[in-house]
Structure 1
Amino acid sequence: MEGWMTERADFMQNEPLAYRMRPRNIDEIAGQKHIIGEGTALYRMIKNGHVPSMLLYGRPGVGKTSLAHAIAGTSGLPFIALNATVSGKKDVERVVDEARVTGKVILFLDEIHRFNKLQQDALLPHVENGSIVLIGATTENPFHDVNPAIRSRCGEILQLKGLEAGDIDELIRRALSDEDRGLGRMAIQITDEQISRLAEGAGGDARKALTLLESAVLASDEEDGTTTVEDAVIKSLIGRSGVFGDKNGSHFYNLLSALQKSVRGSDADAAVFYLAHLLESGDLTAVCRRLLVMAYEDIGLANPDVGAHVLAATQSAERLGMPEARIPLSVAVIEMCLSEKSNSAYRAFDAAAALIHAGDTGDIPQHLKDAHYAGAAALGHTGYKYPHDTPLGEFGGWTSQQYLPDKVADERFYEPVIAGKEKKMAGIYKKLKQFMKKP
């Protein structure tokens, strides 16, 4: 028992399990088969001794750092890791000096989107001549947040995906059996169902999965030299493990995009799923703002009442706060999903704006210009017909007169969508255009 307690104490003081279990070569990488699977171009290049400079893009825990270490392990090249948030020009100069001595090094630069100009100036020539192989990692969209000078020198921009539960299951079992780096020297009793729960609870994050495993082992009771992992411990750990979603990061905006596209595609299940993910990420204001935009951009004239409904829902949500805010917002999202849809109004505006930006659009007709002052008649601001003076059936006041400038009088910006309430509006629009053509 005393020996076991000593071993367990030593284990608790070691480096984290997720750090120890990093892959040593590209054959040990779990998942990411679309990037580094056997037979891919990158896999063959690295196996043949060529490592290109590259950018690795993906959310935390998908294996960016692990992939860089594995590439270095396979290639045998010297490996230097820096973080752009804390590294300065002198750190870059040390990497350059190392490259001069060894001939070639791999520089892994985490948070590369924070790279400043001085660091770039010191490093870029050496990346260009091949003495430094740059592997940059970022959670932000590299096309938005990484400097063009860096992007142009990286032949590969690789988007890593969250791991599948099967990949994480494999990682957990590898950690449990590895006696050198993992938990293989410990007597651990854990069921297949518990491993599956840990794999699914990690949400595609390898680092989180191994951290959950390590925490579950350390939080469970030990008896007669054997640690029996407890269901209650796993439930507790997964329940408070959090949801990925930096409200200032690319992933958050990807979630907003997925929500809007799911609503536009009328998939209520997907829309509610992304709404839940966004609200768990914590930026209620951004979610409410996007929902209001969607009500007018995607539902529009087909169901104009939705705009007022969504406004009421978002105002209620902001007054209630979380977790109650989820209730009116879920109502608004499902109503939008199942409503008729039209984007005709904002497309009409965009068409008009494009014509305006293109150049000369002509002068406002004289009869539409301001005439509420003495002397307006002398300037020719006359001839306006007041529509309310001439009723048209049940429509109200209408009279035929030109409103667009002469130069664009024949332009048509509004193209009705025959859906929902806009169907009636489209009929009125067509009739009025016909009336205007009559003498």
Structure 2
Amino acid sequence: MKPLAYRMRPKKLEDIVGQQHLVAPGKILARMVAAKLLSSMILYGPPGTGKTSIASAIAGSTKYAFRMLNAATDSKKELEMVAEEAKISGTVILLLDEIHRLTKPKQDFLLPHLEKGSIILIGATTENPYITINPAIRSRTQIFEVKPLTEEDIAQAIKRALTDKENGLGEQNVVLTDEARLHLTRVTHGDLRSALNGLELAVMSTAPDDLGVITIDLQTIEECVQRKALVQDKDGDAHYDVISAFQKSIRGSDTDAALHYMARLLEAGDLPSVIRRLLTIAYEDIGLANPNACSHAVQAITAAEKIGLPEARIPLAQAVIELCLSPKSNSAIMAIDAALADVRAGNYGDVPDHLRDAHYQGAKKLGRGIGYKYPHDYPHGWVKQQYLPDKLKNKHYYAPKDNSRYEKALQEQYERLNKFKS
């Protein structure tokens, strides 16, 4: 029997879970399908977020032949077979997984078929295509980011799988407890494939009771996804409470509390939440008071992602201890939020003429760029001139903290420059 995640793949765009920024009515992929003007594309995003589902749904919506290959493991011969099929049927949609591993001979073979449109390529990758995909392929495709699914998206897919009698588990009398459902939607971190695999394993490995009911409780789901729940709470707040306490403990310089809350997250297998939160903390709460600590946190996170649990706990603990004991400053987030508040309130003006783009014909007649002073032509690389719009020319967003020698030096330079400007 094919896995549940495979059986539940959507056959049309309307069945896709999440990714509404691409597939909702009026959005780009829906418009392409409706207009029957498909073009080759690259879908990139985390595993289990629907890249293959989007490709199969596009094929199902257009009735084109659909083939799946892997750029790393399938040979050029398989590509040649797809090309031959395209000659016969007219158009083939080819989902090419791990497209960032496409070799040059395979790429050279594909390019003329992409040019003619006989093969519509849908490349799937977890890597950033702007960095990892060859420019020759990239220039012939549109690039769309596939975002992690929300807990609501996962819950919707689980409900559909439990009720679908043709492809899902609807023929079986399954009761999924609220605690088990919540844990399954949360612990898989937006990976629908993992959620459906865990659900199927739980159902298939649980014996029905005397009435034929298969009851899936929290303990069963924990075992099937190999992730423990932080605590048994029916409200579902404990997960976020621990994450909140983790950040607030670092902000408050309590090393022992921060290590405790991180230990709870790691024991639950929630490495992604630890990583995301540490990155945020480094720049939100430590920031300019200690930029080296921010860099060290990024290095520790990179190491943790490479080695995985349980060893990931070592670099992460080092980062947490350093962030806890570091001086703190939130001046960067406060500065950008103050600037964003002005922009969102419409409190901005025209860019001064001397700062406007002057690289096009007729710019000087419009007064663009006239009077601009190039700072590098002046002593110390600085010259007095207005940069903010007239409406905001005396506005200050950055409010330095003096919690560290580093930001104290920034404060002195900031105040010195402001004095010269006045």
TM range (shorter): 0.5 to 0.7
Shift in Å at residue 76 of structure 1?
0.1
- Counterpart residue number, 1:255: none
Structure 1 residues 178-216: Cα deviation after superposition (integer angstroms, max 9, x where no partner): 111111111212234432332222211111111111111
- Counterpart residue number, 2:220: 233
How does 1:258-269 map onto structure 2 within 5 Å? none
How many angstroms apart in 1 are the aligned matches of 2:17 and 2:121?
22
Pick closer, same or farther for the CA change 1:153–1:428 going to 2, 3 Å: closer
CA contact (8 A) 2:92 2:120 kept: yes
Pick closer, same or farther for the CA change 1:57–1:222 going to 2, 3 Å: same
CA contact (8 A) 2:222 2:228 kept: no
CA contact (8 A) 2:10 2:57 kept: yes
Q: SS state of the match for residue 98, structure 1? A: helix
In the alignment, structure 1 residue 174 sits paired with structure 2 residue 177: no
Shift in Å at residue 220 of structure 1?
2.3
- Counterpart residue number, 1:106: 93
How does 1:52-91 map onto structure 2 within 5 Å? 52-91=39-78
CA contact (8 A) 1:188 1:226 kept: yes
Pick closer, same or farther for the CA change 1:39–1:336 going to 2, 3 Å: farther
Shift in Å at residue 123 of structure 1?
1.1
Structure 1 residues 313-347: Cα deviation after superposition (integer angstroms, max 9, x where no partner): 98xx99x96546544421322445724779xxxxx
Shift in Å at residue 425 of structure 1?
5.2
Amino acid at match of 1:186: Q
Pick closer, same or farther for the CA change 1:426–1:159 going to 2, 3 Å: closer
Pick closer, same or farther for the CA change 1:323–1:139 going to 2, 3 Å: closer
Shift in Å at residue 303 of structure 1?
5.8
Q: CA RMSD in A?
A: 4.8
Equivalent residue for 2:13, pick from 18, 21, 26: 26
Amino acid at match of 1:53: S
How many angstroms apart in 1 are the aligned matches of 2:113 and 2:125?
21
Equivalent residue for 1:141, pick from 105, 114, 128: 128
Which stretch of structure 1 is more off in the superposition, 73-82 or 227-236? 227-236
In the alignment, structure 1 residue 331 sits paired with structure 2 residue 317: no
In the alignment, structure 1 residue 218 sits paired with structure 2 residue 204: yes
Pick closer, same or farther for the CA change 1:26–1:424 going to 2, 3 Å: closer
Pick closer, same or farther for the CA change 1:169–1:118 going to 2, 3 Å: same
Unaligned runs of 5+ in 1: 1-13, 243-261, 343-406, 431-439
Structure 1 residues 86-130: Cα deviation after superposition (integer angstroms, max 9, x where no partner): 122222211111111111111110000111111111111111111
How does 1:207-356 map onto structure 2 within 5 Å? 207-224=193-210, 225-240=212-227, 280=271, 299=288, 323=313, 326-336=316-326, 338-339=328-329
Kindly, what percent of the aligned residue pairs are identical? 38
How many angstroms apart in 1 are the aligned matches of 2:409 and 2:200?
63
- Counterpart residue number, 1:259: none
Q: SS state of the match for residue 139, structure 2? A: helix
Shift in Å at residue 410 of structure 1?
3.4
Pick closer, same or farther for the CA change 1:132–1:226 going to 2, 3 Å: same
Structure 1 residues 351-374: Cα deviation after superposition (integer angstroms, max 9, x where no partner): xxxxxxxxxxxxxxxxxxxxxxxx
Q: SS state of the match for residue 123, structure 2? A: strand
Which of 1 and 2 has greater Rg?
1
Pick closer, same or farther for the CA change 1:236–1:321 going to 2, 3 Å: closer
Q: SS state of the match for residue 140, structure 1? A: coil
CA contact (8 A) 1:57 1:160 kept: yes
Amino acid at match of 2:328: L
